[in-house]
């Protein structure tokens, strides 16, 4: 066998091993009335798990006088950039204990990147445009996702026991949002679901406009 073939086979074995190890967790989140709840952050934590060395960065752009996306989730230590794709300048800030910063008026790519190094919830605003709002959920795990329009989030993770948490920016304080899940090896996704009590939102409020 030529060395090249051996490498190709090794790569293939490695690939199939990865497939066999990764399991999938599918989480459905609904509000108290059973309606799909989009933009909910779900994350799985495992005691003693070694965190990823370099958490994946994120981008929160400004476009049409909005922050996009409205909700981001990052692992603690992630770097976030804030490209301004509007013609007007923005001045973004956070007073949240998990990450305080003040990015004075800027346009284009002039904003400093920010490292979100503490787990918690960070609310971003703009000093110029009061209705601009965005949420960054910072978590101590690389296993997280955000629900889509159907209220479904999928997390790829190794089989094992996890504490699964759900967080929505409008959830009623104290709403129980933690559960234990055992993720099994195999092709079918392990399923979990939540019903989160959320506050009634007035027209145009809390949606980032």
Minimum distance of Cu ion from residue 90's CB (angstroms): 3
Does the footprint of Cu ion cover residue 60 (CB under 5 A)?
no
Does the footprint of Cu ion cover residue 199 (CB under 5 A)?
no
Does the footprint of Cu ion cover residue 73 (CB under 5 A)?
no
Of the candidates 188, 133, 140, 185, the one whose C-alpha atom is nearest the C-alpha of residue 41 is 140
Q: Which residues contact 209 (CB under 8 A, 6 or more apart)?
A: 66, 131
Minimum distance of Cu ion from residue 27's CB (angstroms): 33
Order of strands across the sheet with 160-167?
A: 144-146, 41-45, 160-167, 178-183
- Cα–chain center distance at 55: 12
Name which position in 111, 122, 126, 133 contacts Cu ion (CB under 5 A). 126
Please, which residue, 126 or 177, has the CB nearer to Cu ion?
Answer: 126
Write the interaction track for Cu ion spanning residues 9-38; mark x where CB under 5 A is met and - where it is not. ------------------------------
What distances in angstroms separate CA 96 from CA 50, 101, 135, 149, 173, one per listed residue? Answer: 26, 9, 10, 27, 17
Please, which residue, 80 or 155, has the CB nearer to Cu ion?
Answer: 80
Q: Which two tokens stand for residue 204?
A: 């145009």
In the 8-state DSSP scheme, what is residue 184? P
Minimum distance of Cu ion from residue 59's CB (angstroms): 17
Please, which residue, 53 or 87, has the CB nearer to Cu ion?
Answer: 87
Does the footprint of Cu ion cover residue 195 (CB under 5 A)?
no
Minimum distance of Cu ion from residue 196's CB (angstroms): 30
Minimum distance of Cu ion from residue 127's CB (angstroms): 7
Does the footprint of Cu ion cover residue 128 (CB under 5 A)?
yes
In angstroms, the CA 94 to CA 72 distance is 14
Residue 147 · residue 37 · CB < 8 Å: yes
- Binding footprint of Cu ion on the chain (CB under 5 A): 90, 126, 128-129
């Amino acid at each position: 066998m030529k060395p090249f073939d051996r490498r190709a086979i090794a790569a293939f074995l490695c690939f199939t091993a990865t497939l066999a190890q990764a399991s999938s967790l599918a989480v459905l989140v609904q509000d108290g009335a059973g309606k799909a709840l989009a933009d909910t952050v779900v994350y799985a934590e495992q005691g003693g798990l070694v965190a990823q060395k370099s958490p994946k960065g994120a981008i929160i752009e400004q476009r049409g006088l909005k922050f996009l996306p409205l909700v981001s989730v990052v692992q603690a230590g992630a770097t976030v950039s804030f490209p301004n794709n509007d013609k007007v300048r923005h001045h973004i800030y956070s007073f949240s204990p998990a990450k305080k910063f003040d990015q004075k008026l800027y346009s284009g790519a002039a904003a400093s990147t920010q490292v979100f190094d503490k787990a918690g919830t960070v609310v971003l605003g703009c000093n110029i445009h009061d209705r601009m709002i965005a949420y960054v959920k910072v978590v101590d795990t690389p296993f997280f996702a955000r629900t889509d329009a159907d209220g479904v989030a999928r997390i790829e993770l190794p089989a094992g026991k996890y504490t699964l948490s759900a967080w929505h920016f409008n959830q009623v304080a104290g709403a129980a949002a933690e559960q234990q899940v055992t993720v099994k090896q195999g092709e079918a996704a392990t399923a979990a679901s939540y019903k989160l009590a959320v506050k009634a939102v007035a027209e145009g409020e809390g949606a980032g406009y």
